[in-house]
Structure 1
Amino acid sequence: MSDPVRSRRTLRAGVLGSPVAHSLSPTLHRAGYVAAGLTDWTYTAHEVDEGGLTPFVADLTEDWRGLSLTMPLKVAATGLAESVTDTARAARAINTLVRTDTGWAADNTDVHGITAALREAGVDGVDRATVVGSGATARSAVLALTDLGATRITVAARTPQRAEALRDVAEVGLEIVPIERWSRTGAPAVISTLPGGEANAAAAGHIDDGLAGATVLDVVYADWPTPLARAAADHGARVVSGLEMLVHQAARQFELFTGKSAPVAAMQAAGLAALGQTPDA
């Protein structure tokens, strides 16, 4: 008689990108598997660039159930998917591939991650909001804010001409202003999509008391708090770390891959521990 434990098939998922060594996805997903008792699941990281994506996916065996995608693969993955969700199509970015009976289904869980992080912070039913930055993440931010009820969104951008491309993301009133005005829009919800480092620090220098009482989500999660997060808190804003977005987008992937409810608290605790942070850091 065969041993049911030995004969159980291992199910696989992983994160692809270049660079990928810094990714917290393995930490979050593995913590989820442990908390959910999914002993037959593994999650690994793989260095894959745009040219290597198609052959990598083509070589995957049937035990691979899902892929998380980081840059520069979020656009390149479009050609691999049999189906693409409306959210991923509107965001023009795919961060999730889920194996189905007929092929790979593409999704974008970044939008869910932003929405869930802000709802958890008490933001819902807002009419006005501000997005800082105009890159790829800004598209997901605009979609998330419309999900939260925003009908008027201000985009504060270093290159206003680039921000014009955001007008087709959703049917919403969009105003574009110089990035120096990002904290003066009076919006109760603000999402900074700027990367860490110089851009974040520069935006922190353009801040005033117009943020008092607002909720500010900074999508950066490393080296927390960022200069922008510290300055916003000093000016009376409630600040939400990008780790919350990351955890919720990973939790949605967990559910798509496994079909099980995600143990969000366990995943969040693992992320905080990996970053050397505490819940109120």
Structure 2
Amino acid sequence: MDPTPNRTVPGEGIEADRYVCPDLRVRPDGIDAETQLVGVLGYPVRHSLSPLMHNAAFRHLGLNWVYLAFEVPPESLADAVRGMRALGIRGLNLTIPHKEASLALVDALTPAAQAIGAVNTLFWDEGRLIGDNTDAEGFLRAVRSAGCALGGMALVLGAGGAARAVVYALKSIGCPVVLANRTPERGRALGHALGVEQVLPLTQEALRPLMPQVQLVVNCTPVGMEPDIDTMPDVPLDALPSGAWVCDLVYRPVQTRLLRTAQQRGCLTIDGLGMLVYQGALAFERWTGIPAPLEIMREALVSSTTV
């Protein structure tokens, strides 16, 4: 004789409690048929703090919106964007590894996205899906808000989507830029695309002669991100001049090994939360048309991270 479950969904014979997601039991009020959906696509993406930041902003402003994280492998990106169109999702952020691959999936690009060659935000404009890049402006706002007076030589580490945005931002305000990457060919390709003449290997030996001239180092690689928190880019920080700045775009953890080492060397530092807040605020405004509550967004991030 077949066993009979103790608790079942009527007519199905399925144990109900086994199939109820615990998170649904504590789901916040306010999600209904009118709720507008935005989110982030990445792979991986479970580390993202963007849902905390944006949902805090929506709650603060009383907006019936929700922001979710969608883990989408590269081979499914086109399907995900088609799903955005079909489902009426109001906007998306794109993170690693989708920033460059998404260029061909939109109806039009903003000048920033086109020049950078990477997209981090999708929004609608009169029925057209627009690819934008808020990383560049978000980076400049974050660095300036930290008190760094831009203008001297900047050393950018990496050659991915974030590095493209940072190089574009720095060159747009006249900063001389040197690029360093572990894969020389990819570094040279980015340098050629954005007009960076000096591209070096990301090694102590290659970078040491340059360091006394550098005002700002920006880590645009994932080196040092959780779970590999004991790693850092191979940069001779001890050769930096007095008063130099080190910025790490990694924000999990907030205080990376790179930043801690830079502080021990007497450098001024900028963590990754500032750029996350400012680029997110710009995306928020693209989607909603409402000024973003910056302090609320920052507080949500700070309260959720361990420094």
TM bucket normalised to smaller = 0.7 to 0.9
Moved over 6 A (4+): 5-8
Structure 2-normalised TM-score?
A: 0.79
Separation (CA, whole Å) in 1 of partners of 2:173 and 2:62: 33
Where 2:237 maps in the other structure, the secondary structure is coil
Structure 1-normalised TM-score?
A: 0.85
Q: Which residue in 1 is equivalent to 2:189?
A: 165
Percent identity (aligned): 35
Q: Does the CA contact (< 8 Å) of 1:154 and 1:177 recur in 2? A: no
Equivalent residues, number = 271
Q: CA deviation at 1:172?
A: 5.4
Structure 2 unmatched runs, 5+: 1-29
1:273 aligns with 2:298: no
Q: 1:22 to 1:178 in 2, by over 3 A?
A: closer
Q: 1:225 to 1:199 in 2, by over 3 A?
A: closer
5 Å matches for 1:115-154?
A: 115-150=140-175, 152-154=176-178
Q: Could you tell me which amino acid in structure 2 is paired with residue 50 of structure 1?
A: P
Separation (CA, whole Å) in 2 of partners of 1:155 and 1:6: 46
5 Å matches for 1:35-46?
A: 35-38=60-63, 40-46=64-70
Structure 1 unmatched runs, 5+: none
Separation (CA, whole Å) in 2 of partners of 1:6 and 1:41: 8
5 Å matches for 1:79-228?
A: 79-150=104-175, 152-171=176-195, 174-176=198-200, 178-180=202-204, 181=207, 184-197=211-224, 201-203=231-233, 206-228=236-258
Moved more, 21-30 or 200-209: 200-209
Q: Could you tell me which amino acid in structure 2 is paired with residue 119 of structure 1?
A: R
Q: 1:68 to 1:132 in 2, by over 3 A?
A: same
Where 2:46 maps in the other structure, the secondary structure is coil
Q: 1:200 to 1:161 in 2, by over 3 A?
A: farther
Q: CA deviation at 1:205?
A: 6.5
5 Å matches for 1:222-237?
A: 222-237=252-267
- Which protein has greater RCO, CA pairs closer than 8 Å, 6+ apart? 1
Q: 1:10 to 1:232 in 2, by over 3 A?
A: same
Q: 1:177 to 1:49 in 2, by over 3 A?
A: closer
Q: Which residue in 2 is equivalent to 1:74?
A: 99
**Rg larger for:** 2
5 Å matches for 1:228-267?
A: 228-267=258-297
Q: Does the CA contact (< 8 Å) of 2:223 and 2:232 recur in 1? A: no
Q: Which residue in 1 is equivalent to 2:46?
A: 21
Separation (CA, whole Å) in 2 of partners of 1:199 and 1:46: 24
Q: Cα RMSD over matched residues?
A: 2.7
Where 2:162 maps in the other structure, the secondary structure is helix
